């Protein structure tokens, strides 16, 4: 399935999002290519595998072409073995707030200490209400791309 992914990304100021979360799922992911022009990601989310290709962002960093397919879990594990270091691990919390769903990623391992929230939008200038725990916007900042966190993890910033 392909679509234009339109999303904004923020830092997180407090752990209040955890109380408001509807689900939390462990994610392990690696990259077969970290080039922002053609990112290829292998992800295990809970008990499901996914392969995802993303294109380059537009100027504001909000919108990217995204193609994703679900794949077999064993195959996903084998594909992660082919990925570039570092393999990312994080807990993802789904946090509904007003009319939007925020996805909060609490990174583990070499990115421990980093927590970011993303909200997916229907169009670039869509208005959404911000929960109290939402911090500074980092949309389009390349160092926060997961593909870049796998090359230069948070512990090295």
User: Which residues contribute to the site for its own copies (CB under 8 A)?
Assistant: 1-2, 32-33, 35, 37-38, 40, 51, 53, 55, 65, 67, 69, 71, 75, 78-79, 82-84
Least distance to its own copies from the beta carbon of 75, Å? 5
Least distance to its own copies from the beta carbon of 152, Å? 19
Least distance to its own copies from the beta carbon of 68, Å? 10
CA pair distance 18, 65, nearest whole angstrom: 30
Which residue's CB is nearer to its own copies, number 21 or number 87?
87
User: What is the signed CA dihedral for 76, 102, 66, 36, rounded to 10 degrees?
Assistant: -90
Which residue's CB is nearer to its own copies, number 82 or number 136?
82
* Residue 45: strand pairing partners: 27, 48
CA pair distance 57, 132, nearest whole angstrom: 28
Please state the φ and ψ torsions of residue 141, each to the nearest 5 degrees.
Answer: -80, 115
Which residue's CB is nearer to its own copies, number 83 or number 138?
83
Contact 130, 60 (CB under 8 A): no
Least distance to its own copies from the beta carbon of 33, Å? 4
């Amino acid at each position: 399935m392909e679509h234009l992914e339109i999303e904004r990304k923020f830092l997180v100021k407090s752990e209040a999002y955890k109380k408001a979360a509807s689900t939390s799922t462990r994610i392990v992911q690696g990259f077969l290519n970290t080039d922002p022009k053609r990112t290829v990601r292998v992800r295990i989310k809970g008990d499901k595998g996914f392969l995802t290709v993303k294109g380059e962002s537009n100027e504001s960093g909000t919108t990217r072409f995204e193609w994703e397919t679900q794949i077999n879990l064993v195959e996903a594990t084998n594909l992660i073995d082919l990925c570039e270091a570092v393999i990312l691990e994080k807990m993802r919390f789904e946090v509904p707030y007003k009319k939007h769903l925020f996805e909060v990623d609490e990174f583990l391992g070499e990115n421990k200490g980093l927590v970011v929230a993303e909200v997916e939008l229907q169009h670039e200038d869509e208005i959404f209400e911000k929960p109290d725990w939402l911090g500074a916007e980092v949309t389009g900042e390349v160092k926060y791309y997961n593909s870049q966190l796998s090359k230069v993890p948070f512990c090295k910033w």
